[in-house]
Structure 1
């Protein structure tokens, strides 16, 4: 329940500090005085859009705070606990605050903690439900009609299931269409890859084979020169006809060994020469072995020449270096497999989409069944209510048609139409075709009151929802709202004395101007002032004994 509202520098309000109580509070005032300004301020405090024009001219910022008691609001209390925003002093107390500077930037607070506006709005929906003066016009929209029956039937969880399964289906459907769209391009690429891979498969180049071909080709191409150089070197080292390095080295070692007794320093030199002798012998052995095993195979050379030429030709064709031809082959094969897997993905997505669609229809049909059940109940209640609102022959009917072939929607499968018969002898027709402005207003008000009785919001605000209503109908509306006010806190901005007189308390809005500044105020009326205000609403500014008597009768009827 809203206990207190403080407004500073908001629009044409300089300062307001209002205390509220349980029951029905009516708000009246002259046209243009700003009867809805406190509600607009409260709406800002509950997370509505901020604007620089909300800041009073000549001031830096507007500030609104609203204090609520949460004794009978368990959902709001739990929300605060879940978000770690409960009051340190009292779990049953909640303070919301919103500031807007002259540049239009705003800040939001819950129990003194800065929060995003989205959190303020989320909590606000659990605390206050505002019905605007033009709300009945939206009754002509099918999505609003569905939301009314869903709110009445408390379809929150069921509707969320439908929305969730729709989102799952929508995501898969989007993926499938994208895959199918790409499939033609993939098919062309697949045909090209198939030809290229077949060509490389037939060539069957092994990993690092080209490098090996290069080495062997070079060796065979230079085989004669290699053999000649090896033989010449062997002659120099060990196989010379007259002399060679080994012969000279052995002779040198023998000569020095003969002199070692004369000088022991020759021993180190002799050891070094002996090591050289061993190394030359080893080199000669390896060189001889190399020469004997050196192949000079013209046929093999021709095979290598052909293989290398084909590899170079393929490399040029595929625009890669020949040493990368093998890895290029593997890359194309991998891409080809991935393109094949795309077809499998389409098959899998199609199967997943069918499962998601079945899940959607399962929940959507449950929603449709429940909507039909509650549509009958709500139709009867609205019919009864509008007949009390001076539409004695009025009949209201909610027409629901489930279309299983309808395009999937997050709101379900139902086509809805609010139908009404306003006079005897007529047939039911669409609300948009039959109802006048006043009739539409009465039907909308009846819906709001009925739905409000089922919604657990502790504070309800009706902002001039009685537009287009007068006379005896207005009196019924007043009693209807007062009856609702016995169960919960209600604020009703009105211009009708029959409605204003039914309030448990009444507040008056006035606007003053000194030629330079304008200021709007709101005060709670005493019983005497309330009589005068009701008399003004009955007869205008000229208050007479007759209008006072009428006003007193309204209040007496209210109390009795």
Structure 2
């Protein structure tokens, strides 16, 4: 809901701060007082073109700030998707600045926002209906959703069937494309599968072969060193043999002195450590065995794996998976139309499910259309549209246009005269008729929701008496479910308002300004009397104004 509007330096408005409440707000004033400026200012905040002509003469920039209730639902999601942070429960402030020398800037809660985002937010915040409006109810693109909401129709089953159908069609198309591609490359595919099968690469094989190769290459380099160590330790002239000979001599003379006994113990320890060293060397020789043939075989296998990987532009470890993938493609090709036939059956079944769901949806829409037509028809006669007819056209669309919302094109149509053909609203309705049709539709669709704020711009133009009273009564009913702002010249409509704003021009001899003020009960009676009688307000007009206010 729109709660406040602050305007600075817009056309004839120097500074204006307005507050709005729930229900029906009437905006009145003499012709030319500047009522359209308010709508232009609000439109500017909601992303309308930033025309420099809106900047008041002598000012450097025009600023409009619109305040709304805290955003919820789709609006909150839209703001979040665009990186605009809004604290829960905090009001929504939209500010637009237009400079006199060109250029404009937008802000949402003091965060920069482009005009495109403001325009996307606008229909979620405000609906503006004027005699030349081509949005909202007049846009056929939204009629189907409006009908579904009015009829409380759930289209989700049709949407699910549509997704299933599209998935099945995509799988069939992919299978056919694979077969077509595979058929063109059959010879290459068969050869690739054969050579990969022959190669029989294993996961991790390249790393294992590389490790073995490095080990054997290292063994080759240290083989001479190991042989030299053997010469030092093994044989009758080796170090260990000499130590054992020394130990045998010491055993005979060790009892002669304690130091000899200690020396014998030390040599025994050396012999034991030397034996341990021999065991470790033996293990090392076993692990570092250098086999020229084995090294050659490992290198040949390693180079073969890497060459195959380069050929197919994959890593060596990916060769087993590649072999499986190419084999699957070849199997699919060899399976031929069998797999495609199965997928085609799946598509046919999914299409049947979708058609069944969409047919049921169409039937529900036709039923809802009949109820909506009856509801609108009940509103036409009091609005002096008793010769007009309204219908909700639910027509099938070409299968190429089927989608998740079904198989229907929904459009609101009217025939203004008996025997005249039905046509879209904008094609045959005059300005006054169009506004009244919109009102009738809005009343019928009152529970549909939509924007929290609606504005009707001179919906009562060219009518009076009973028709104006009927318009006022319906606007009041509509204001029970949404905030309603009405720019009006009709006293019958103004009398229905919960709040009354007067728009007037003032002159100080050099500058003309437009101002707006909220009327109290006495001022409101006087304004309605002026609307009834014209420039000279008579006592009879005041009395009539009082009766209108009492009966509203």
User: What TM-score do you get using the length of structure 2 for normalisation?
Assistant: 0.62
The 1:433–1:9 alpha-carbon spacing in structure 2 relative to 1, beyond 3 Å, is closer
Gaps of 5+ in 1: 69-82, 88-94, 537-542
Residue 29 of structure 2 corresponds to 29
Q: In the alignment, is residue 461 of structure 1 matched against residue 459 of structure 2?
A: no
Q: Does 1:492 align with 2:478?
A: no
The residue that corresponds to 2:133 in the other structure is 135
- CA distance in structure 1 between the partners assigned to 2:365 and 2:412 by the alignment: 13
- Greater Rg by CA: 1
CA contact (8 A) 2:216 2:295 kept: no
Output the CA distance in 2 between the equivalents of 1:179 and 1:487: 56
Counterpart CA distance in 2 for 1:244 and 1:122 is: 95
Report 1:493-512 matches (<5 A): 493-495=487-489, 507-512=501-506
Query: Is residue 318 of structure 1 aligned with residue 308 of structure 2?
Result: yes
1:144 pairs with one of 130, 142, 145:
142
Task: After TM superposition, give the deviation of residue 193 of structure 1 in Å.
Answer: 5.3
**How far has the Cα of 1:493 moved from its partner?**
0.9
Segments of structure 2 that go 5 or more residues without pairing to the other structure are: 71-85, 99-103, 334-338
Range 358-367 or range 476-485, more displaced: 358-367
The 3 A distance-change label for structure 1 pair 260 and 306 is closer
Which residue matches 1:200?
Answer: 199
Match of 1:106 in 2: 107
1:484 aligned counterpart, secondary structure? helix
CA deviation string 1:232-286 (max 9, x = no partner): 9599723xxxx88787666655665666566543333444445566777899999
| Residue pairs, 1:132-531, within 5 angstroms | 132-135=130-133, 141-155=139-153, 158=154, 161=156, 165=160, 172=167, 183=178, 194-201=193-200, 208=208, 233=231, 237-238=235-236, 252=246, 264-274=258-268, 304=294, 307-308=297-298, 310-311=300-301, 314-315=304-305, 317-318=307-308, 327=317, 329-330=319-320, 332-333=322-323, 364-403=358-397, 405=399, 407-429=401-423, 431=425, 434-436=428-430, 439-452=433-446, 460-466=454-460, 470=462, 473-487=463-477, 489=479, 490-495=484-489, 507-514=501-508, 518-523=512-517, 524=519, 525-531=523-529
Q: Deviations over 1:509-529 (max 9, x none)?
A: 113355775532124344344
The change in CA–CA distance for 1:530 and 1:210 in structure 2 (over 3 A counts) is closer
Structure 2 CA distance for aligned equivalents of residues 287 and 137 of structure 1 = 92
Distance 2:14 2:443 in 1: 34
Aligned partners of 1:378, 1:205: CA distance in 2, in Å?
70
d(CA) in 1 for partners of 2:387, 2:141 = 28
User: What is the Cα deviation at residue 65 of structure 1?
Assistant: 5.3
Q: Aligned pair in 2 of structure 1 residues 341, 101: CA closer, same or farther (>3 Å)?
A: farther
Deviation at 1:477, TM superposition (A): 3.8
RMSD of the TM alignment (CA)? 6.3
Distance apart, 1:482 and its partner CA: 1.8
3-state secondary structure, aligned to 1:401: strand
- Change in Cα spacing, 1:522 to 1:411, as seen in structure 2 (3 Å) is farther
Residue in 1 aligned with 2:82? none
Q: Structure 1 residues 338 and 268 mapped into 2: Cα distance closer, same or farther (>3 Å)? A: farther
TM (norm. structure 1) is 0.61
Distance in 2 (CA, whole Å) between partners of 1:171 and 1:553 is 69
Q: Check the 8 A contact 2:128/2:456 in 1, yes or no.
A: yes
Q: What is the SS of the residue equivalent to 2:399?
A: coil
Kindly state the Cα deviation for residue 400 of structure 1 after the two structures are TM-superposed: 0.9
Instruction: Give the CA deviation at 1:35.
Output: 1.0
Q: Is the 8 A contact 1:16 1:522 kept in 2?
A: yes
Measured after TM superposition, the shift of residue 428 of structure 1 is 3.9
